[in-house]
Copies of this chain bind each other. A is one copy, B any other.
């Protein structure tokens, strides 16, 4: 999984039927110290993450292992909102 920060939302009317009702968030990858990385992905939100929150997201086929995303054409999903990183 990778750390990210929610930076916005994606709106689309014309889309695959299986995306209906899903929230698509723009997530910027971040470093362990919280600084921005350049890569931004679009991830389904399964935990109610808001803009500005630090999150954990999962990619690839494992992104289809949540209730919301099962069997859907989804390759990235937010699975946790981070409370704290203990970096030693």
A residues within 8 Å of B by Cβ?
1-3, 7-16, 18-19, 24, 26, 28, 31-32, 40-43, 46-48, 51-52, 56, 58-66, 71-77, 79-88
Contact = CB atoms under 8 A, between A and B. Distances in A.
B73 A2 contact: no
A31 B40 CA distance: 7
Copies of this chain, tallied across the complex: 5
Contacts of A87: 7-8, 26
A80 B8 contact: no
A56 B7 contact: no
Nearest to A30: B40
Nearest to A72: B65
Given A62-B75, A77-B73, A1 B16 contact: no
